[in-house]
A = this chain, B = another copy of it.
Amino acid sequence: MSDKKSRQKVGLVPGSLIYTGTGDRREILFTAISYSSTSFEVKNFNNVTELIGYVEKSNGNVWINIDGLSDVDSIERLCNFLEIHKLTIEDILNVNQRPKLEQQEDYIHLVMKMLIPNQESSRIEVEQVSFILKGRLLISFQEKNGDVFEHVRKRIYENTGYVRKMNTDYLLYSLVDAIVDYYFLVLEKTGERLDEVENRLLSSHSQNILAEIHMIRKDIVAFRRFIYPVREVVSQLERVEDEKISSDLKLFIRDLYDHTIRVIEATESFRDTSASLIDLYMNNASNKMNQIMKTLTIISTIFIPLTFIAGIYGMNFENMPELKMKSGYFIILGVMAVVPIVMIAFFKRKKWF
């Protein structure tokens, strides 16, 4: 969730092709799925030349998924073959983009952030996915292995839903929809974390709760920055010219837009809740503290006058008549018993406990 254009990029020619991510320099993997309503084929390539050959021959719907962006040369060769603009290629390689949609003369370029909740820790992994939709060819660029598209692949393989019956514009929609679906998972996780914190707050006060709320807040703030532009992206998608995105999809995209709005609203309300929890925490902490201090101070206050009385009869004056009284000691003990009772009664009447 870093916001820097990496230092080595500063001062470079705009359109310089530098991979800014941290993915390790492993082999790039190309997966091509061609499909029609009647059949489908999945092929893996390790070599961009073979892939280009394959693309040249294909003439139906093809989805090429690319895992790994560190092999800049291969990606450049593929993009040049497809006549993708230099600045678009730069954007694909620079994984610090904000979600956006760019409509070029003969292709659409769409950038999204894929959020994958890590099942073990409560942290969320962020990965940039870029899409190029050019005619009936859809290319998705991912940094790492592993994505949120398994359900879509399954639908292609098993021919469920509309995906096989329609073209790659519907596939693009399905993939974006899958990404937004995962946002709901992230929201659910965040909601659970907030609920858990709230419960702990309402039951008793725990030391490290504030740092935890701080962390949740930070996640929410980062999350907001990924999803706010998505609204705009989806809204632009709705307005893309009909040759690129079939008008039959408008209803689906509208539905996606509604999902996006719900994600945003939920995020906003989580932000609110977290702020409110901080207030609650602050108050709980100070309430508890005050309770302690009050009790302790009351104890001190009760004993200080008693100690004073004891102090008086500890004085060594020769002429202190009380000291010679036979029951003097017991009378004073009685007084010492009465004083705290009176004080406690006074405190009670003042509602100090």
Number of interface residues of A (CB under 8 A): 117
Q: How far is the CA of A300 from the CA of B295 in the complex (A)?
A: 13
Does A305 touch B at the CB level, under 8 Å?
Answer: yes
Known A-B contacts A10-B185, A294-B289; the reply to A332 vs B304 at CB < 8 A is no
Q: Are A294 and B294 neighbours in the complex by a CB distance under 8 Å?
A: no
Q: Are A285 and B282 neighbours in the complex by a CB distance under 8 Å?
A: no
**Which stretch, A41-49, A75-83, A118-126, A214-222, touches the partner chain B?**
A214-222
Does A146 touch B at the CB level, under 8 Å?
Answer: no
Does A96 touch B at the CB level, under 8 Å?
Answer: yes
Q: Are A211 and B3 neighbours in the complex by a CB distance under 8 Å?
A: no
- Chain B residue numbers with a CB within 8 Å of A174 are 14
Q: Are B305 and A305 neighbours in the complex by a CB distance under 8 Å?
A: no
Q: How far is the CA of A287 from the CA of B214 in the complex (A)?
A: 15
Interface readout for A292-319 with B: 1 if CB under 8 Å, 0 if not? 1110111111011111101111111111
Determine how many copies of this chain the complex contains: 5
Interface SS majority for chain A:
helix
- Chain B residue numbers with a CB within 8 Å of A326 are 319
Does A324 touch B at the CB level, under 8 Å?
Answer: yes
- Chain B residue numbers with a CB within 8 Å of A350 are 292
**Which stretch, A59-67, A234-242, A256-264, touches the partner chain B?**
A256-264
Does A334 touch B at the CB level, under 8 Å?
Answer: no
Q: How far is the CA of A287 from the CA of B282 in the complex (A)?
A: 10
Q: Are B255 and A14 neighbours in the complex by a CB distance under 8 Å?
A: yes
Q: Are B98 and A182 neighbours in the complex by a CB distance under 8 Å?
A: no
Choose from B184, B292, B352 the contact partner of A5 (Cβ within 8 Å): B184
Q: How far is the CA of A255 from the CA of B177 in the complex (A)?
A: 26
Known A-B contacts A287-B285, A304-B300; the reply to A317 vs B323 at CB < 8 A is yes
20 other A-B residue contacts (CB within 8 Å) besides A202-B211, A204-B351, A293-B293: A9-B181, A10-B151, A11-B152, A14-B161, A96-B262, A98-B261, A100-B258, A210-B280, A221-B273, A285-B287, A292-B350, A292-B352, A303-B305, A304-B307, A308-B310, A311-B311, A315-B323, A317-B332, A319-B325, A319-B329
